[in-house]
Amino acid sequence: MAKVAKSSIADIGEVITAMVTPFDEGLNLDLEACGRLIEYLIENGSDGVLLSGTTGESPTLSDEEKLSLFRFAKESYGNKTKIIAGTGSNDTKHSIELSKEAEKIGVDCLLLVTPYYNKPTQWGLYKHFEAIAREVSLPIIVYNVPSRTSCNISSKICVELSKIDNIVGVKEASGDLKQISEIVRDSQEGFLVFSGNDGETLPILSVGGYGVISVASHLIGREIKKMISCFKQGRVKEASELHSYWLDLFYSIFITTNPIPVKEALNLKGIKVGSTRPPLYPMDERQSKEFRDILLKYKIISG
């Protein structure tokens, strides 16, 4: 099967929004609201959208819903932005099947999360991603988020994965700058390291990272894009000032389990995305007040 060159992924952009999944009042998939949200994100600095990631509540989306979401986004907005499909799971066979279906739809890239709960060995992790990559020709970004999965992809295994033609990058949310630095240093040329935590974007850029797969870009996409541009243009002090200014927002959107806060923020802004599906429920009164105070401070919402 023909593979993509790693260099071809660079046009996917530096700011990818890990998009929430809009639901209606009955908590059904709301594609009309999805369209409005994608339009808003395109207009506000996102180079691409990741669908059915953690922020998109992938654990409570059926395969049918995921494929409907991918198809709608690709058909309606594929000429305006990059569409990245979250097709990973803790079942290699299932991940392959869903990835193949997403490829048929024509998405631009796949995001594959580290298998969770069953806690494979490091060699098992390599074989999992290798098996999926062998079955599709799309570019793949692996997603390392040990706080969610209880399983960390070591820098050694990530470097080995970078040698596979169509594994083109990693979304790194381990928070381990030594590990991330080793990946940047030792991986194949053209392999891209994305920050998986908004508050770590600038530190990861400083060790050679490429961009961010972001939650905060729902609210400040242009500002994040500006921070990255400033850093890459050598305006490091300005980038640092932007990072410091937005720091409280970067971390407040994780005041409780993501995507509960960012969905509340969007709804408060008048961008209706509905609630989260159980077992995720709205914030308690104390958290909600604390979060709204942050949104008011940054003028994300008005009083």
Residues known to be catalytic: 143, 171
Q: Report d(CA 96, CA 107) in Å as an integer.
A: 15
Long-range contacts, stretch 8-12, CB < 8 angstroms, 24+ apart: 8/139, 8/168, 9/109, 9/139, 9/168, 9/169, 9/190, 9/192, 10/190, 10/192, 11/82, 12/47, 12/48, 12/82, 12/84, 12/108, 12/109, 12/139
In DSSP terms, 170 is beta-bridged to: 142, 193
Strands 211-214 and 15-18: parallel
Residue 191 sits at φ, ψ, to 5 deg, of -75, 125
How many H helices and E strands in the chain? 12, 8
3-state secondary structure of 194: strand
In DSSP terms, 266 is beta-bridged to: none
Q: Is the CB of residue 108 less than 8 Å from the CB of residue 87?
A: no
CA dist list (Å): 78 to 55, 81, 83, 98: 20, 6, 7, 19
Structure tokens at 166: 């169509």
In DSSP terms, 109 is beta-bridged to: 84
